[in-house]
Copies of this chain bind each other. A is one copy, B any other.
Amino acid sequence: MGRHEQGAEGARMGRYDQGVHADEPVTILTVAREAGVSKTTASDALRGSGRVSERTRETVVAVAERLGYVPNGSARHLRKASTGTIGLHVPEVLTRSSYYMSFVFGVVEQAARHDYDVTLITSGQRRARPPRVDGLVLGDPLGGDPVVESLMATGLPTVSCERFPGSRQADGVVWSEHALMLTRLLDHLLATGARRPGLIVAGDESDWAASVHRGYQEWCAGRGVAPLVSRVSFDATGDEVRAAARALLGRGHGAPGTGGGTPGTGGGALATGGGALARNDDTPRTGGAEVPMDALVCAPAGAATEVAPLLREAGGRVRLASCVDSAATRQADPPITAIDLRPREAGASCAELLFELLSGTAQPGTERVHPIELQIRASTAPRP
């Protein structure tokens, strides 16, 4: 001791000035001395624990405020065996999607509200040591990602956004009703006069893509529409997506029955239509296998805007919608109907669930539904 005896400090300039440049660190001992109590009482008063009279509590709080006391995180976490930090993993393949940027900010914002920091974990970096965190948020984990696997093996409390398409599941899951919302979107397309909506979607590594695909298949079965699907890779380029769209456009014109067209015309487009479901004759008004595509739903982020010019060139007959809303879809010409996944709120919801798991407020195994919204825009207006 004796290194800083004065204690009385007074307010200083600036916003973070206290205790940062090391001329006079304000510890809980400084506060206690200044308030005329012991360090225990000061600690109790500030954290609302222990037994402290209201009067002294107010005094201590006032003094702490005045001195600009900021608790030392390292000391606190050393004592409490926690870190005050949560880890956040987002798959690097999808870096360019603005969805993840918003998601990340949602997590950071919510964590800040709980006075937690957020440490980013990328799939790229090989980690020599386990992350120094109290828990983990996994943003849309991809099945088979080795980093995700090892993160789950840490035993740390974990929340994933969408389910993990692997063997084990996170302690908490925040998911959205993508299949249901896609159903609404498809019904909307039907209502505007479309008869045969097609789908471009990525593979089932992501729970989200799998849900979208499943929702589409079930809707087709229920409505008696012959499915028209093209799978693309997860980080599909514009060319790949356009090739898939062209392949879908080319199908349905040929002979009815087993789907016609040339599967795999370009870019690995895999057509799955024209099966038994197309023979459902109860609802003859909707699209059988011989009906050409007159609406296209693009699942991957950014795919819809990539495809838009192609559809326009093809005559503008095909309605267009995206499963991921973004500035690009909002501002396209015409604006593109899309499902707003509300990524920022999704991130906040994941962080919140994690904190509840950490505090014991929520039980492991908790699942929460994150509401999403269908934004109907001009790209799916009825065609003249």
Contact = CB atoms under 8 A, between A and B. Distances in A.
Interface of A: 14-22, 70, 72-75, 77-78, 81, 83-85, 92, 95-98, 100-102, 104-105, 108-109, 112-113, 115, 117-122, 124-125, 127-132, 150-151, 153-156, 237-239, 242, 302, 305-306, 309-310, 312, 326-328, 330-333
A70 B327 contact: no
B239 A331 contact: yes
B309 A331 contact: no
Q: How many copies does the complex hold?
A: 2
B155 A20 contact: yes
Given A16-B129, A309-B309, 6 more contacts: A16-B153, A18-B130, A20-B154, A96-B98, A112-B122, A113-B125
Nearest to A151: B16
7 interchain residue pairs of minimum CB distance: A238-B331, A16-B130, A74-B78, A96-B98, A21-B155, A112-B125, A15-B150
Contacts of A151: 16
A20 B152 CA distance: 12
A22 B81 CA distance: 10
Contacts of A77: 74
Contacts of A119: 85, 117-119
Nearest to A123: B105
Given A100-B101, A112-B125, A327 B302 contact: yes
Nearest to A132: B73
A57 to B, nearest CB: 19
Nearest to A96: B98
Nearest to A332: B238
Given A98-B98, A130-B70, A153-B14, A105 B83 contact: no
Given A102-B95, A327-B238, A109 B130 contact: no
A74 B83 contact: yes
A312 B20 CA distance: 56
Given A73-B132, A98-B96, A327-B302, A124 B153 contact: no
